[in-house]
Structure 1
Amino acid sequence: MKTFDDIDMRILRELQQDAGVSLETLGERVGLSRNACWRRVRALEDSGAVKGRVALLDPTAVGLSLMVFMQIRTQSHDPDWQQRFSRAVQAIPGILSVYRMTGDLDYLIRARVSDMAGYDDLYQQLIHHVPIADVSASFVMEEIKDSTALPI
């Protein structure tokens, strides 16, 4: 793990808030010249601390207003099933996040769909690719906090 100094940390916090900020503005905010700031940002990208820069979209504006969490239980834990499952969830566009879990469930999936019909389509795609013992879904009624910023 790379260690970051105070300026690196300030740059990372700023980029988490607005990755499209100009180098001039970013430099002013962290107390560096444009060129020095550019070198720091490049070093943070090269080190892997900055994985990419993206635009955050409003899900409702693009027709994906329903967020669903799917709890998956499987009867198979062999490497072949895991590889097939991994390929399947990577290929389904509505699936945003997949986590292998401890405890009673095996996987937790976070997905965005247009509506219940969109969820059913996603569900059908998933079970078409891999056998699943049990799927339980919970639908988000209200998003109280949803952040992409890490607490650094």
Structure 2
Amino acid sequence: MSQSGKPRRGGDRAEGHVFDGVDRRILDILQREVDRPVTSIAEEVGLSPTPCWRRIKRLEETGVIRARVALVDQRLANVPMTVFISVKVPSHAKTWLDDFRALIEAIPEITEAYRLTGDVDYILKVVVPDIAAYDLVYKAMIERMDFSQISSSISMEELKFTTALPVDHL
């Protein structure tokens, strides 16, 4: 229901908020060009600048937009090698997980980490300049924690990389 008591139309609910096609188009634009002027975004989505700005602020306040960041070129940052580390753990205790979280936070080369279902417990994405730097990350991990198994795969080619999420489900 809207504040007037009438049912809302044209939008889906996410965390109790209604988002419509205009919000989705705004998100699509911002995911491609975060520094694009509000006036340009407003023109493209068919709004005047002030209502467009209000929608962007609402997307930020509701947490749909978590942050605005700069994407750094991996090669130019001298970390061209991507390694995926599959980890099997000896314990699923909360203390082990807390220690593991602290470990992955302490190693800046670990850029992503996920807990999984299936045969592997965790997968980590590591970016490094070369195999010697990866070896240092590996040694830092095994010095601090016990693992049942660690398996590494070096990426040969990046076929797709995007930070843009599909917004059709919002």
TM exceeding 0.5: yes
> Which ranges in structure 1 are unaligned for 5 or more consecutive residues?
none
Please tell me the residue identity of whatever aligns with 2:117: T
SS of residue in 1 equivalent to 2:137: helix
5 Å matches for 1:66-105?
A: 66-105=81-120
Please tell me the residue identity of whatever aligns with 1:22: P
2-side partners of 1:128 and 1:36: how far apart?
54
5 Å matches for 1:46-65?
A: 46-65=61-80
2-side partners of 1:33 and 1:128: how far apart?
57
SS of residue in 2 equivalent to 1:3: strand
> Which ranges in structure 2 are unaligned for 5 or more consecutive residues?
1-14
- Is 1:36 aligned to residue 51 of structure 2? yes
Offset from partner CA, 1:25-65 (integer Å, 9 cap, x none):
11111111221111110000000000001111110001010
1-side partners of 2:131 and 2:40: how far apart?
44
2-side partners of 1:46 and 1:33: how far apart?
20
SS of residue in 2 equivalent to 1:82: helix
Name 1:17's counterpart in structure 2.
32
2-side partners of 1:31 and 1:4: how far apart?
16
Higher radius of gyration, 1 or 2: 2
Q: 1:100, 1:108 within 8 Å by CA — same for their partners in 2?
A: yes
- Relative to the length of structure 1, the TM-score reads 0.96
Aligned residues: 152
Name 1:127's counterpart in structure 2.
142
1-side partners of 2:18 and 2:162: how far apart?
24
The runs of at least 4 consecutive aligned structure 1 residues that moved more than 4 Å come to none
2-side partners of 1:142 and 1:101: how far apart?
23
Name 1:114's counterpart in structure 2.
129
* CA RMSD between the two structures: 1.0
Q: Percent identity?
A: 39
SS of residue in 1 equivalent to 2:19: coil
